[in-house]
Structure 1
Amino acid sequence: MSVRATARIVADADGGLPVLVSDGPLALRRTRATGPYTRVTVVGAMTAPLGGDRLAVEAEVRDGGRLTVDAAAATVALPGRDAGRARYDVRLTVGRGAELRWLPEQLVSAQGSDLHTRTTADLAAGARLVLREEQVLGRHGEQPGTLTSRLTVRRAGRLLLDQELSYGPGAPGGWDGGAVLGGHRAVGQLLLVDEAFGERPVEPRLIGDTAALTPLAGPAALVTAVAQDALRLRRVLDEALASFR
């Protein structure tokens, strides 16, 4: 039987969490944080997503709040008894003068799985967002499942970024070619939205051999990377994030 679950987080400017609702396999825990941030960790309470599951996480940071959301472990998309596609939706809202650091662990697309993920972020003017996404295509020694990932970000009601990527046997041809992954099995991106980029836009540049930094109108910056494995991918994205501090 497929699972339908929605977990919800609301963070206030005073560090409070007036809403922290777990659901199904999505268990939320307030964890110890450093600095000015409230921290919530997503803990998998059961195996998910499986075929046919419909999962969602909603996070809102109210005006002036600062929230970090991370995860205790990677998410593994697996085939299930239901042959249908699984969905995992993330809906983020960040108020004026607020900051959200959305830093989950990797999403692993296991052989035979079929998953569509959709992340939407609505930012007020003056909001700051740090968002990391990482996908690992197949566990060790196996082919990937089918994975479609879409990211849509709006700031002050205007579209900042809207992109969709597809990998695996159900994706359009060429996803593993030299123009896309070039044989790599880990892919990720780091998006930063910050008022400071309006006055000091970043310069486009390569980061090593398999990553690039691109300025976005917004003001924002996007790092995209591919790597042979999850460890190397994380290292590249961590180095990129550290360069903005």
Structure 2
Amino acid sequence: MRTGVRAAARIVARGDGRGGTALPVLAGEGPLAPRRTRSVAGEARVVLVGAMSGPLGGDHLSVAAEASDGARLEVCSAAATIALPGQAEGEARQEFDLRVAGDSELRWLPEQLISAQGSELRVRTRVDLAAGARLALREEQVLVRFGERPGLLRSRLTLRLDGRALLDQELRCGLGAPGGWDGPAVLGGHRALGQLLLARPEFEQSPLQARMLGECASLVPLPGPAVLVTALAPDARQLRRVLDVALHDLG
């Protein structure tokens, strides 16, 4: 019986005491290859490069990133991730564990996740913030490639501040998901969905008000210093445009 790939990557960023950010840990294995790129204004930048296609059925990939001691860290990916069916049995899994200290900032801005026909993927993202931490996290999911039917996607995002839960939400969509996922109460026929999670200490001092950001996008304040922008769009390009505007205005 075929089994999937097991691989992990770890990124640790720390302030270097001179206004910059050091990366004492930058490690990956298998298809996960983190690479440092040029730093800008004291911020360390890391690109996650996919050294193999996937994730495929049966794969289990995990990434842990930590920003501490005054670090400023941005993590992005070199290309979109495409969930594909594989020869191994079972769903593929991706797990992301993100930690940010109170005097640090993390910008987690990967490219889109595309759910190809026949794929089955479970994504789990956990974010732990200390008081005073700054975060910008973007998730974008495209449910189908042109001319295909969508795969099955399960996605869960949790946010905790000093151990207190601020957000815990889960989405299931695609073929095999409970009925109604494509109806007007959920996706309404759209195939691109995304969210932008922002945490800033100033949001607690001057809370933002819930409001619409267009026909299919909204901003919702969370308890404490965080807000969540959620958006739907017919394609990835239009989704990115909406989230980029929100990131520029709020982040």
User: Which TM-score band (shorter chain)?
Assistant: over 0.9
Identity over aligned pairs, percent:
62
More deviation in 50-59 or 31-40? 31-40
Q: Does 1:244 align with 2:250?
A: yes
The Cα of 1:4 is off from its aligned counterpart by 0.1
The Cα of 1:34 is off from its aligned counterpart by 2.6
The Cα of 1:83 is off from its aligned counterpart by 2.7
More deviation in 31-40 or 176-185? 31-40
Cα deviations by residue, 1:167-202 (Å, 9 ceiling, x for unpaired): 111211100001111100000000001110011111
The Cα of 1:63 is off from its aligned counterpart by 2.5
Which of these residues, 231, 241, 247, is aligned with residue 225 of structure 1?
A: 231
Q: Tell me, what secondary structure is at the counterpart of 1:17? A: strand
Q: Distance in 1 between matches of 2:146 and 2:38?
A: 32
Q: How many residues are matched?
A: 245
Q: Distance in 2 between matches of 1:12 and 1:217?
A: 28
- Matched with 1:71 is 77
- Matched with 2:27 is 21
Which of these residues, 149, 153, 163, is aligned with residue 147 of structure 1?
A: 153
Q: Distance in 2 between matches of 1:89 and 1:10?
A: 17
Q: Tell me, what secondary structure is at the counterpart of 2:111? A: coil
- Matched with 1:201 is 207
Which stretches in structure 1 are left out of the alignment for 5+ residues?
A: none
Q: Tell me, what secondary structure is at the counterpart of 1:16? A: strand
Cα deviations by residue, 1:213-244 (Å, 9 ceiling, x for unpaired): 11111211110000000000000000011111
- Matched with 2:53 is 47
Q: Does 1:169 align with 2:175?
A: yes
- Matched with 2:112 is 106
Q: Distance in 2 between matches of 1:9 and 1:2?
A: 23
The Cα of 1:140 is off from its aligned counterpart by 1.1
Q: Tell me, what secondary structure is at the counterpart of 1:111? A: coil
Q: Tell me, what secondary structure is at the counterpart of 1:142? A: coil
- Matched with 2:12 is 10
Q: Distance in 2 between matches of 1:208 and 1:90?
A: 30
The Cα of 1:22 is off from its aligned counterpart by 1.3
Q: Distance in 2 between matches of 1:83 and 1:242?
A: 42
Which stretches in structure 2 are left out of the alignment for 5+ residues?
A: none
Cα deviations by residue, 1:19-67 (Å, 9 ceiling, x for unpaired): 0001110111001133331000001101120000000000011121110
Which of these residues, 87, 92, 115, is aligned with residue 98 of structure 2?
A: 92
The root-mean-square deviation of aligned C-alpha atoms, in Å, is 0.9
Q: Give TM-score scaled by structure 1 length.
A: 0.98
Opposite residue 199 of structure 2, the aligned amino acid is: V
Q: Distance in 2 between matches of 1:236 and 1:33?
A: 27
- Matched with 1:157 is 163
Opposite residue 107 of structure 1, the aligned amino acid is: L
Contact 1:86 1:116 (C-alpha < 8 Å) held by counterparts: yes
Opposite residue 30 of structure 1, the aligned amino acid is: R
Which of these residues, 210, 213, 219, is aligned with residue 213 of structure 1?
A: 219
Q: Distance in 2 between matches of 1:220 and 1:76?
A: 29
The Cα of 1:151 is off from its aligned counterpart by 0.3
Q: Distance in 2 between matches of 1:35 and 1:235?
A: 25
Q: Tell me, what secondary structure is at the counterpart of 1:88? A: strand
Q: Tell me, what secondary structure is at the counterpart of 1:115? A: strand
Q: Does 1:123 align with 2:129?
A: yes
- Matched with 1:181 is 187
